[in-house]
Amino acid sequence: MRTPPPGAHCLKSKPFRFWCRKPEFRHTPRLIEAIRSRPNVIRRRYAKYCKMSFSDCIEFVSKIERNWYKTSGLCLSWLIVLGIGISIIAATGTPWPYSGLLLFGSLGLICSTWFYSRRPPKTSRQKVGFAVSLWCEGEKEARTVQEDFVHTLRRLIKSGRMAGSFDFLEVPPHIAERVIDAEDAQSLRIRMKSHFLIYGRTRLRALHGKEQYYLELDGVVAHKPIPDQVSKFLSVEFSELLPRRIAIDKESDLLGFQFASEWAELVAKYVIGIAAAVSGDLDYAESLFRDVLTRVSDTNQKFPVFLKLRERIPVRLFEIARVRARAAYQRWEKNHDPSQMDTLKETINAIGQEFGLAHPEVLTLASIQAFVSDHDTRKAHALLGRIAKMHRDATWHVNRAFLFAYEGNMESTIRRYRSAVRCEMSVDLLGKVEKFICWVLEQEPDKNQLYYCLGFFNWQLKGDCEQAMSDFATFVEASENSFTAERKLALRWIEEIRASQTAGLASAQSKAKADS
């Protein structure tokens, strides 16, 4: 067997173009036969390609590595594999079926590897994906950004109390180059199954005789479908806190990139916390907020963004506690489980210790809890009385009316209901009030005055005259020896309702006759 020609097994040689031009060598068996029969021609024509130094080989391999993710890199890899494969086949004399299987199998393996390597990394299961997509103009700048910014950001994300929940993902340069706007970033985030993605570009420019790195950053975060108002709020938080454009002197790039990475890490955790909160994961959101608050409280810097985080995070924590209290009450409304009232009490106590009881909704829930758990109407009155006058809406008036009715003060009850009529009231509130009073009557049937309360409520607030007359009649029948004045009013109101119904019926009949 002849010795294989030098040009056949050299990575730099390009004999294929010469062979494939000739009609007799268009097919692989003929091509292999040509290699065997024309070694001198190959050696003479392609000897100049076989003289490669070690540095040339390193440069050649680096070129392949740089262009691997491009189509040209795939084609170049094909050519190399074809050259090596044909050289081996020519040297060993492998017959055509096996040689074809070797060549096409190798090409298929390269194609599969190429397509797989072009895919972005994906977030691990049960982890919160934190992805970074930064593109740099040059290789030197890319190494600087990766070492001083990305690696620092990775270290910061992997530190702290919530370190184990994050999966840090770095987007390869060939993918980061194609991420231009928020739409591209959102599409990439979905492909990576990541929860948060910081994307941007880094450029090295000269300004006033000094070279500076210009870092442009933006971000997208995953969350469940939310109202437009909440989405706008999230965008405002992004634009105010996340560093959009940062100029870092090349001479002090290490400190500059470290500070920028800390800045981005804290803001990213804060924004992820907001997204988790609006998506319903309150525990994880609270953990992130407290982690960031601890970090910014430990620093003595008067950096504006850190000061804003110190101001806003307590507000976010209070909102989470308020949502928890509301959720506990809503669960109690469904099945009247006493354990939910215990949960509501614990949440309200925690709010009082950390933030104080001043918010109208929290005070209202605290008054309901005081009544349901302890039947303490005095405490419930006191809590409702702490609500500022500007926040005393229909809910406040109907709650005070119920407490007065429970205590037997029917005059104050009617006064509060009349005040509630003048306020805007939702249908949901009407249903909740009636349902709550009916539940109290089931628990304490001797509280007959609540039927008087229900009658006036159904008549004046709901407009349900039939139910109002039924409630008034029940009250009159059940309270023969008490509430004398209220019994007289109830009987009079029953007559008024009947008279109004009769007048309304007569008016409708006359109108119908006139129309006919």
Residue 317 predicted with pLDDT over 90: yes
Which residues are CB-neighbours of 370 under 8 A, at least 6 positions away?
376, 379, 380, 383
Residue type at 131 in one-letter notation: A
pLDDT digit string, tens, across residues 103-131: 778 778 878 877 777 788 888 888 888 88
pLDDT of residue 174: 80
- The stretch 191-196 carries a mean pLDDT of 86
Instruction: Please state, for a pLDDT cut of 90, what percent of the chain lies above it.
Output: 20
Q: What is the DSSP letter of 208?
A: T
- The stretch 338-361 carries a mean pLDDT of 91
pLDDT of residue 126: 81
Interior CA angle at 193 toward 238 and 73, to 5°? 105
Contact call for residues 39 and 3 (beta carbons, < 8 A) = yes
Residue type at 446 in one-letter notation: D
Which residues are CB-neighbours of 487 under 8 A, at least 6 positions away?
475, 476, 479
**What are the structure tokens assigned to 121, written together?**
């990394």
Q: Delimit the domains of the chain by residue range.
A: 6-117, 128-295
Indicate the length of the chain as a whole number.
516
Residue 300: pLDDT band with limits 50, 70, 90: low
Three-state SS for 69?
coil
Residues 407, 413: Cα–Cα separation, whole Å? 10
Query: Among 40-44, 343-347, 495-499, which is the least confidently predicted range?
Result: 40-44
Residue 251: pLDDT band with limits 50, 70, 90: confident
pLDDT of residue 49: 47
**What are the structure tokens assigned to 126, written together?**
């049960």
CA nearest to 128, candidates 93, 90, 168: 168
CA nearest to 262, candidates 113, 355, 160, 345: 160
pLDDT of residue 46: 45
Residues 419, 453: Cα–Cα separation, whole Å? 14
Contact call for residues 243 and 264 (beta carbons, < 8 A) = yes
What pTM was computed for the model?
Answer: 0.70
